[in-house]
Chains A and B, each alone.
Chain A
């Protein structure tokens, strides 16, 4: 909404991975809307607080609805949006700080309910807006402004965490191949249930990991990213766990499970329950 809004003064740094993720999200929204024959206004983007959350203001083209809420609470807000209006394609955009630190308590309930919400997580391994503090995915030993002697906590392992909670669609990618990323996000939107696309989205100012991710032959750096092997069966949880534990960053779908969503179960209950008017409710208290 804000590409041409002169008042909006937020800027991503040149080279920020979030540019690529934004582009991929725009493509995925268009493709998904076209495929489902739903208008763009049926999409609701729920943004976290952090650099990545600004995606909601920077989308180009026809605008979806948006919420830019409070830090760490994208999932509870998205839960309300989706249960409040099940037709909405509800998409969370958040960073590793918002989603995996302050907001981590909400991943479990969302996964256990299998709420039909798609999350696009932009992981840059650092708190960018507050200028470079360690985040849950910052590697052990890394020096940041809040870890001047090196980070003394182990980095969180997002894929193992997602698997343990029972997230029913887990994918991994990075920001430098937006076309592929867009297809993956679209697949996550199509998935019935709780889906997370976890994207490596480097911060060029505080944690520039482009060389690490892509590799740099001249500098003798082997790439961290690798395509998910063709023979990987994402419906096999053991195989998914093995892939999640493998070092490096897989590109593709790690895990997929078809099971009823919360919306499905609610529909079942609605069939059984008898809806009463307020007048009928009052009658049950008659003396």
Chain B
């Protein structure tokens, strides 16, 4: 019996992203489950970067705490990451750059020199991947298959590139075998019976939204949301589709409101600073009841904060972005797979209740590449707003206590979409009864948003853990470990944070304690749960990094012990 998981971290400056992507793609092609993690500073070139690939024989939930192989491209990378290595792990270092202390469990290779020797200076990544393969008995042939697939593009010179990269793999593999290190044998993959796609969280959101009919996108470059803008510029093209880079987030929000008013399914994506700039516009969309979707790819905050690190600290800002009485629907997917369904749900919700919807994700999930079951798009329903087709003008769009058909320019029912308090046709009013009815109408409509996915497990336990958003996977892994250890703890998860499904609210109210692991200082989600009368307490981390599963296991146990006043297991 070999090992089921292999975690490889690449640290240094150049080359770490390509290496990780290639390894992940190879492993997925071979039939393993993979997920990647990347973190890098906000600069064009250089600076400390690291990427990580978690390969497993079963579906991956986390980035993997324990690094089996550290590939150090530079001395700085070595120094920053050597302590993450699991006992028995191996370090492969670029001996063309530096030499580590003698006692380190490591072997060196001159990555770039070997690449030059095989005739392609860009093949150094393959030298590295070749060296990793024999350590875990990972088939070199799988890597060669990947190289052939990737570089056979019908261009002159493809053959030479494939050949040089194959040679590079062989040279690396030879060094790996000679090193004498072994991590044991990685079990052969259990190839899933279902079809798969390999996609990042941000791309999954985009595909989901487009499937639901998204046809208008504008955005402003901002880490880590830029990849959605770039995706849209490349893909949301052709007849009746619009994607455009605008001049600021203030322009983004107001432009998607204008487009939503014009009958389009519109969206923008941003990060925390952009949410701050969109604050007033989101209130306008709420007030005038215009369908639109805002994606917040969270990074560390506040202000410019940590642009390329991960955090879950925008929840207060997303659920209450606007001044005055407003509370946004918030969907926060907890995996790459959920991102796709959340993208579609956000568009559907905006159309159904005719208002703004916020989709929260976060850096760690945005750039995470993962192989997931291929979605059956035919099973994802697509909703469109009810459009007013009545015969005459004078239609009172805002008169009813609930949402009604929406007039679209060019059709009947001309009205004013008004950011000021208004009467049925949208004219400004100051009458108390209008403000009362308008406010109640806007909150009442949220009841229509009652179909978001949720998970409840082991409901008999008096204590439950409830992660949200991108921390779901790591918390899930910790939860499963705790259950394996015999700890009696329940599981509650909801993809929507507002409004919460009725069943989730009821489950929460039955708990003696709800433990909320979240990546922020204030314990934002547990604060909101307590405001709703639930007994919730957070486990917080605010390092700019994702949770480690081993930490979560310890911290959740401690939280249970504090509650129970004793050890969780005899």
Q: Which residues of A are in contact with B by a Cβ distance under 8 Å?
A: 1-2, 5, 7-10, 39-44, 46, 49, 54, 56-57, 62-70, 73, 76-85, 87-88, 105-106, 108-109, 266, 269-270, 273-276, 278-279, 281-282, 285-287
Contact = CB atoms under 8 A, between A and B. Distances in A.
Given A68-B418, A69-B288, 11 more contacts: A7-B429, A44-B409, A65-B409, A67-B417, A76-B253, A77-B255, A81-B258, A82-B258, A85-B410, A281-B207, A281-B210
A10 B429 CA distance: 9
Which 7 pairs between the two chains have the least Cβ-Cβ distance? A80-B258, A275-B238, A84-B262, A84-B259, A76-B254, A273-B237, A80-B255
B284 A69 contact: yes
Contact of A106 (B251, B374, B415, B423): B251
Given A10-B428, A286-B197, A84 B266 contact: yes
A166 to B, nearest CB: 14
Contact of A9 (B244, B414, B429): B429
A41 B412 contact: yes
Interface string B205-235: 0010011000010100000000000000001
B482 interface: no
Nearest to A76: B254
Given A42-B410, A66-B414, A276 B255 contact: no
B389 interface: no
Contacts of A77: 254-255, 257-258, 261
Contact of B237 (A5, A63, A270, A287): A270
Contact of B374 (A85, A274, A282): A282
Interface of B: 28-29, 195-199, 203, 207, 210-211, 216, 218, 235, 237-239, 241-242, 244, 246-248, 250-264, 266, 280-281, 283-284, 288, 371, 374-375, 377, 393, 407-412, 414-420, 423, 425-431, 434
B277 to A, nearest CB: 11
A79 B255 contact: yes
11 contacts: A1-B416, A1-B426, A9-B430, A42-B410, A49-B419, A66-B415, A67-B261, A83-B244, A84-B261, A270-B241, A286-B374
Contacts of B196: 286-287
Given A275-B239, A287-B29, A80 B423 contact: no
Contact of B419 (A2, A69, A84, A109): A69
A105 B423 contact: no
A67 to B, nearest CB: 5
Nearest to B378: A279
A76 to B, nearest CB: 3
A70 B280 CA distance: 8
B32 to A, nearest CB: 10
B255 A275 contact: no
B410 A105 contact: no
B196 to A, nearest CB: 4
A106 B246 CA distance: 10
A42 B197 contact: no
A82 to B, nearest CB: 8
A84 B416 contact: no
Nearest to A43: B409
B509 to A, nearest CB: 38
A76 B249 CA distance: 10
Contacts of A286: 195-197, 374
Contacts of A7: 423, 427, 429, 431, 434
Contacts of B255: 76-77, 79-80, 83
A278 B211 CA distance: 5
A274 B375 CA distance: 23
Contact of A41 (B235, B263, B280, B409): B409
Contacts of B211: 278
Contact of B427 (A8, A64, A82): A8
Contacts of B410: 39, 41-42, 85, 87-88
B414 A64 contact: yes
Nearest to A46: B258
Contacts of A278: 207, 210-211, 377
B377 A80 contact: no
A66 B251 CA distance: 19
A18 to B, nearest CB: 15
Nearest to A267: B239
A84 B258 contact: yes
B190 to A, nearest CB: 15
A65 B375 CA distance: 40
A63 B395 CA distance: 12
B270 to A, nearest CB: 14
